Structure 1
Amino acid sequence: MPTLALPAIRLALGLVTELRIDVNHTPDEVESELDAIRNRMSRPSDRLYGLPEVRTDIPGLALRHREADGEYYVYVVDLRRDRVAGYTVFNRLIEVGRRADPYLRAPHSKYAAPYQRMGLATAVYRWGLDAGLCIMSGARQSEGAHRLWLGLARDYELGYVDLRRKRLSYLGREVDAAVLGDLHTRMVLLGRGWTLERHMQATGMTWSEGARTQQGLG
């Protein structure tokens, strides 16, 4: 995996009103879970003990990461305060077929309130994307997550796909509000080293008629 960089993220992007909102967790729920993770990291018998560590360019913050069954867990640790600031998991997607499974992961994040709006989740996403992971959004997103994805689209190729019955259909780089509001519509960001054509071939993704027109394919 590449080293982590934490650029300042400044977004001024509008959101469509039809954005599908994800479930929010209370601060107490998040803090309780992060405390439990920190306790596990201190127990020599636990699988979270002694994880590989990557320093960040924010003083006092580091990443600890692990892989299990094709899923990647990245924990942001505040070394000065001896606490877990939050984490991102790059999950496998049960919605996609076997052919696409090795090539798509869905990131899910939880960060404690004092560490939000610091760009930590964005930076961890970049860490994964720079390592070549291709990521897909869930059926629902928070407004903050939607901004995050649009911000990353400045540096990584973003497209929209239709996912149903384990089949992927590429919709193009832009979709209208009605399509975006459909629960079958997902966002995909391609990791470093991937082209759209190569990713479509690897996953078995097909072209929608609208996307063929966008690409000038007739």
Structure 2
Amino acid sequence: MPRWARSPKPEPRAELRIDVVIAPETIEQDLAALHQRLHRPGDPVSQCATLPLNLPGLRVHHRVADGEDYIYVEDVLGRRLAGYTVFKRLVELDRRTDRHFRAPHSRYAAAYQRRGIATAVYEWGLARGDCFVSGARQSVGAHALWQALGRRHPLGFAEIRSKRLHDLASPPDEALMTALSTRMILLGSGWSAARLRALGLLHDAVGAEGERLLRRA
């Protein structure tokens, strides 16, 4: 498949480290605590605007703190939090790249999974021009979500080195695939690999010679 192409079908399951498993009861406890804070006057979590996402029966709350977006999806009739997504900043990236890239992290209760909720939230971020970098590890559900979004948005692989993103073949070879520095990238509205390169936000792969130079440095 050409680099940064939109895939017409899911890629084979031999990808990044898909080993994150969070117990459902842990997620439920986390969501219950956040729901209380969402309705506690004076709590920072309660200082939210409402996002007009088309999710019937659900209210989507949004707040920004330290440059990170927090999205809380509330089941109003059920009086509970369905889940949340945080678009986190990446300390691994330099300041220029950090202005355009975020690492999404989500937790949704089992009863609200596979209902397109996280997809709608991620699409909101991509539509406003954010680009996403995957975490060092993913859950099965998160990986499936990225693959689905990759059928509508440019999806590629990059390596984080010296706080910069280095373009990789899609998909990388097995050795790079297992490295914690290898990540998937989703490009938001208005972005392409060519534009990232032109702005100095995406660089060539390091390669064997570059690796030797980095070690010497």
TM-score by length of 1: 0.83
Contact 1:159 1:189 in 2 (8 A): yes
Contact 1:99 1:202 in 2 (8 A): no
Deviation per residue, 1:152-205 (Å, 9 max, x gap): 111111111011221221114433344322222111111001122222343532
Aligned runs of 1:198-209 on 2, under 5 Å? 198-208=195-205
* Aligned-residue offset at 1:63: 0.9
Which residue number corresponds to residue 187 of structure 1? 184
The correspondence for 2:161, drawn from 159, 164, 169, is 164
Contact 2:47 2:63 in 1 (8 A): no
Q: Count how many residue pairs are aligned between Structure 1 and Structure 2.
A: 200
Identity among equivalent positions (%) equals: 47
1:151–1:100 CA distance, 2 compared to 1 (3 A): same
Detail structure 1 runs of 4+ shifted over 4 Å in the superposition. none
Deviation per residue, 1:10-55 (Å, 9 max, x gap): x973543464134322111111111111111111211222521124
Contact 2:60 2:72 in 1 (8 A): yes
Which residue number corresponds to residue 36 of structure 1? 33
Q: State the AA in 2 paired with 1:38.
A: H
1:12–1:156 CA distance, 2 compared to 1 (3 A): closer
Which residue number corresponds to residue 5 of structure 1? none
> For residues 71 and 201 of structure 1, what CA distance do their matches in structure 2 show?
26
Q: State the AA in 2 paired with 1:41.
A: L
Contact 2:166 2:206 in 1 (8 A): no
Deviation per residue, 1:109-139 (Å, 9 max, x gap): 0011111121211221111101111000011
Which residue number corresponds to residue 105 of structure 1? 102
> For residues 114 and 31 of structure 2, what CA distance do their matches in structure 1 show?
17
> For residues 92 and 49 of structure 1, what CA distance do their matches in structure 2 show?
21
Which residue number corresponds to residue 46 of structure 1? 43
1:134–1:33 CA distance, 2 compared to 1 (3 A): same
In structure 1, the gaps of 5 or more residues are 1-10, 211-218
TM-score by length of 2: 0.83
